[in-house]
Structure 1
Amino acid sequence: MRPPGGALRTFIVTGIALFMVTLDNLIVTNALPAIRTDLGTGLEGLEWTVNAYTLATAVLLLPAASIADRFGRRRLFLLGLALFTAASATAALAPGIGVLIAARAVQGVGGAIVAPLTLTLLATAVPAERRGVALAAWSAMSGLGVALGPVVGGAVTQYTSWEWIFWINVPVGAVLLAIAPRFLAESHGPAGRLDPAGTLLVSGGMLGVVLGLVRGNEHGWTSPQVLGALAAGGVLLAAFIAWELRAPHPMLPMGLFRSRGFSTVNLVAAAMALAMFGTTFLLIQFLQSVMQLTPLQAGVRSLPWTGMPILVAPLTAPLVARFGGRAVLGAGMLFQAAGIGWMAALLAPDVTYGALVPGFVLAGIGMGLFFPPVARLVLGFAPPERTGVASGVSNTVRQLGTVLGVAVLGAIFSANGDMTAPEPFADGLAPALWTATAVLAAAALATLAVPRRLPAHPAPEPAPVAGPVAEPAP
Structure 2
Amino acid sequence: MLVPLALAQFICSFAGSNMNVMINDISTDLDTTVQGVQLAITVFLLVMAALMIPAGKLTDRWGRKRCFTLGLGIYGIGALLSAFSPGLGILILGNSILEGVGTALLIPPVYILTTMLFSDVASRARAFGVITGMGGIGAAAGPLIGGAITTGISWRAAFVFQAVVIVVILLLSRTIVDPLPPDPTRPFDVAGTILSATGLACLVMGILQADDNLTLTAILLAAGAFFLVWFFIHARARERGGREPLLSTALFRNHTSNVALVTQNVQWLLLMGVAFVVSAFLQVARGYNAIQTGVIFTAATAGILISSLAAERLTRRHAQRNLVITGFVVTLAGIGVLLLMVRYSSNVWAFAPGLLLIGLGLGTMLTPSVNVVQSAFPEDQQGEISGLSRSVSNLGSSLGTAIAGTVLVAGLTSPEHAYALAMIVLAGIGLIGLVAATRLPVGAATHRR
TM-score band by shorter chain is 0.7 to 0.9
1:206-251 Cα shifts (integer Å, max 9, x gaps): 2222222212222x313xx333323222211221222233333233
Q: Tell me if the contact between 1:94 and 1:100 (Cα under 8 Å) persists in the aligned partners.
A: yes
Q: Tell me if the contact between 1:91 and 1:166 (Cα under 8 Å) persists in the aligned partners.
A: yes
1:323-338 aligned at under 5 Å gives the runs 323-338=318-333
Instruction: Report the secondary structure of 1:216's partner residue.
Output: coil
Q: Look up the match of 2:43.
A: 52
Quick one: distance in 2 between partners of 1:311 and 1:414?
32
Mapped pair 1:105 → 2:97: yes
1:436-451 aligned at under 5 Å gives the runs 436-451=426-441
Quick one: distance in 1 between partners of 2:282 and 2:428?
23
Q: Look up the match of 1:429.
A: 419
Deviation at 1:184, TM superposition (A): 5.6
1:200-279 aligned at under 5 Å gives the runs 200-218=194-212, 220-222=213-215, 225-248=216-239, 249-279=244-274
Q: Look up the match of 2:24.
A: 33
Deviation at 1:362, TM superposition (A): 1.5
Mapped pair 1:115 → 2:107: yes
Letter in 1 for 2:87: G
1:149-228 aligned at under 5 Å gives the runs 149-173=142-166, 179=171, 188-191=181-184, 192-218=186-212, 220-222=213-215, 225-228=216-219
More divergent stretch after superposition (84-93 vs 166-175):
166-175
Aligned residues: 440
Deviation at 1:60, TM superposition (A): 2.0
Q: Look up the match of 1:93.
A: 84
* Structure 2 CA distance for partners of 1:60 and 1:303, relative to 1, 3 Å: same
Letter in 2 for 1:109: V
TM-score normalized by the length of structure 1: 0.82
More divergent stretch after superposition (287-296 vs 299-308):
287-296
More divergent stretch after superposition (303-312 vs 138-147):
138-147
Q: Tell me if the contact between 2:56 and 2:384 (Cα under 8 Å) persists in the aligned partners.
A: no
Deviation at 1:138, TM superposition (A): 5.0
Instruction: Report the secondary structure of 1:213's partner residue.
Output: helix
Instruction: Report the secondary structure of 2:188's partner residue.
Output: coil
Unaligned runs of 5+ in 2: none
TM-score normalized by the length of structure 2: 0.86
Quick one: distance in 2 between partners of 1:276 and 1:142?
11
Percent identity, aligned pairs only? Answer: 27
Deviation at 1:119, TM superposition (A): 5.5
- Which of structure 1's runs of 4+ aligned residues deviate more than 6 A? 121-128, 131-136
Q: Tell me if the contact between 2:51 and 2:104 (Cα under 8 Å) persists in the aligned partners.
A: yes
More divergent stretch after superposition (277-286 vs 132-141):
132-141
Q: Tell me if the contact between 1:206 and 1:233 (Cα under 8 Å) persists in the aligned partners.
A: yes
* Structure 2 CA distance for partners of 1:318 and 1:117, relative to 1, 3 Å: closer
Letter in 2 for 1:354: W
More divergent stretch after superposition (101-110 vs 75-84):
75-84
1:174-223 Cα shifts (integer Å, max 9, x gaps): 5666x5796566773355432222221121112222222212222x313x
Letter in 2 for 1:166: F
Letter in 2 for 1:291: R
Q: Aligned to 2:138, which of 124, 127, 145?
A: 145
Q: Look up the match of 2:357.
A: 362
Quick one: distance in 1 between partners of 2:175 and 2:323?
40
RMSD: 3.2
Quick one: distance in 2 between partners of 1:386 and 1:280?
33
Quick one: distance in 2 between partners of 1:174 and 1:321?
36
1:310-321 aligned at under 5 Å gives the runs 310-317=305-312, 319-321=314-316
* Structure 2 CA distance for partners of 1:322 and 1:120, relative to 1, 3 Å: closer
Q: Tell me if the contact between 1:44 and 1:214 (Cα under 8 Å) persists in the aligned partners.
A: no
Quick one: distance in 2 between partners of 1:247 and 1:207?
23
Quick one: distance in 2 between partners of 1:153 and 1:124?
34
Q: Look up the match of 1:459.
A: 447
More divergent stretch after superposition (386-395 vs 294-303):
386-395
Quick one: distance in 1 between partners of 2:196 and 2:319?
34
Deviation at 1:382, TM superposition (A): 3.8
Deviation at 1:433, TM superposition (A): 0.2
* Structure 2 CA distance for partners of 1:194 and 1:414, relative to 1, 3 Å: same
More divergent stretch after superposition (349-358 vs 90-99):
349-358
Q: Tell me if the contact between 1:18 and 1:115 (Cα under 8 Å) persists in the aligned partners.
A: yes
Instruction: Report the secondary structure of 2:346's partner residue.
Output: coil
Q: Tell me if the contact between 1:52 and 1:102 (Cα under 8 Å) persists in the aligned partners.
A: no
